[in-house]
Amino acid sequence: MLITWTRTHGRHPLAAAPAADKDVMETTIMSGNIFDEILTLKSLFINKEVLRHSYLPNTMIHREEEIESLSFNLVEALKGHIPSNMILYGVTGAGKTAVTKYVCKQLQMKGEKIGRKVFPVLVNCRQIDTQYRVLAHLSNTLLEEFEAPDIPFTGWPTDRVFKELVKRMERRGGVYVIILDEIDHLIKKAGDDLLYNLTNLNSELNEARACVIGISNDLKFTDYLDPRVRSRLGQQDIIFNPYNAEQLQEILHDRAVEGIEENALSQDVIPLCSALAAQEHGDARCALDLLRVSTEKAEKESAELVEKRHVRAAQAQIECDQITPVIRTLPTQQKIVLAAVMLNEYNGLKNIQTGEVFYIYKQACTRVGLSLLSARRVSGLISNLDMLGLITANTVSKGRYGRSKQINSCLPDNLDVKTIMSNSESVIADVFAHSYKHQSRL
């Protein structure tokens, strides 16, 4: 039983109310549980997990060539030899991590069947992003139940952690496939010392062997590497091309057969999800999200059929869900710079120059009483907003007049950015409340 009430001053809400106060206290009694009705709704899903990124299908379609290249190299592990180090390149959602997990799962299963010790270990370098933490994670993954406690999160010298890793690998023997997902993030943050040590592992090992597979979205991340590390790591490269719309349709169809009730999708839904995702660099994750959220929206309406309007609504929701937290958590100065871009656009400007943004920014800071950053610092904040995907800041040459940025916002039309920023910080509401002088263009 759920009881709701209106609190009266100076008295516990459950205490008996005087007769004169009975009109003040409102009591509503609801029987049952708020989830009862929701649980009785007919679901359009058979298994929603099939439509998530983390799901690993039994077959990987449209990645046969990549699977063959990866398998042909890693089969050496089943012979007790050292596979070549590899780098897998490709845009987000091209299937790099999924294919690697799929091949390594098959590799481990075959190793167990024929009595070969093969140990794939995957490290997400965006979450585990220092040399110490990666080495500690690898060592702790190899820890047997009867062995010493885990290597601590911090506190040991790095060379001691590396020696412990070598010792545990030697004790187990076999071949280790070390997979570093989003390796470019680690290199840009922590340098290439870790890769030097890992690619040099085999010179320290006698009873075990190891190879390294790097997975990256950045084709140029090897420019950050020492030439010696680059030559050791990039012994074999595989490029994962983006999926096209037709390939995405087949992927979604296969997942829908397993995950969504038969005849729950209209004929236009999968082609539309595929076409929208193909525009986003052929991102299979985007396509799966669209299909899943579209079906959730139809289910929420108690509709028996997922239609194109549900896909459009899902697209708008996904865009907002991704961008809103980014905007809300921007530092104050970055919010003001973004507001300056928007205020220029409200004035009808396009391809806004850095000076025009700075001109509004100065007025805004003065009027709300915030310290003023230099034009150079503001230019850096503009670059950060560009990197976050909130604006585009393309550098163009003006000939003898030098170079300049052309700035435009790239925020969804259905997103109320002004309200999001104003609600997150009252000072931003004050920024938008003022009127501004704008630079005149020649």
CA gap 66, 98 in Å, rounded: 11
DSSP sequence for 238-274 = EEEPPP-HHHHHHHHHHHHHHHB-TT-B-TTHHHHHH
Exposure on the CB side of residue 114, measured as CA atoms within 13 A = 13
**By the 8 A CB rule, do 138 and 178 touch?**
yes
For residue 389, what are its two tokens? 């995907």
For residue 415, what are its two tokens? 């997103």
For residue 11, what are its two tokens? 């008295």
CA gap 22, 286 in Å, rounded: 55
Per-residue pLDDT tens digits of the chain, which is 442 residues long = 343 434 434 444 334 445 444 444 444 445 679 888 888 878 899 999 999 988 999 999 999 999 999 999 999 999 999 999 999 999 888 999 999 999 999 999 999 999 999 999 999 998 898 999 999 999 998 876 556 668 888 889 999 999 999 999 999 999 999 999 999 888 888 889 999 999 999 999 999 999 999 999 888 888 888 888 888 887 789 999 999 999 999 999 999 999 999 999 999 999 999 999 898 778 899 999 999 999 999 999 989 999 999 999 898 888 777 788 888 888 999 999 999 999 999 988 889 999 999 999 999 999 999 999 999 999 999 988 988 888 998 887 766 666 778 899 988 777 888 898 998 888 999 999 988 988 776 5
Backbone angles phi, psi at 89, to 5 degrees: -110, 155
Helix, strand, or coil (residue 226)? coil
For residue 357, what are its two tokens? 């943004």
DSSP class of residue 218 equals: -
**By the 8 A CB rule, do 428 and 422 touch?**
yes
For strands 174-181 and 118-124, give the pairing.
parallel
Exposure on the CB side of residue 33, measured as CA atoms within 13 A = 5
Taken in order of first residue, the domains within the chain and their CATH numbers are 2-40 (no CATH), 48-52+243-326 (1.10.8.60), 64-240 (3.40.50.300), 329-433 (1.10.10.10)
**By the 8 A CB rule, do 258 and 47 touch?**
yes
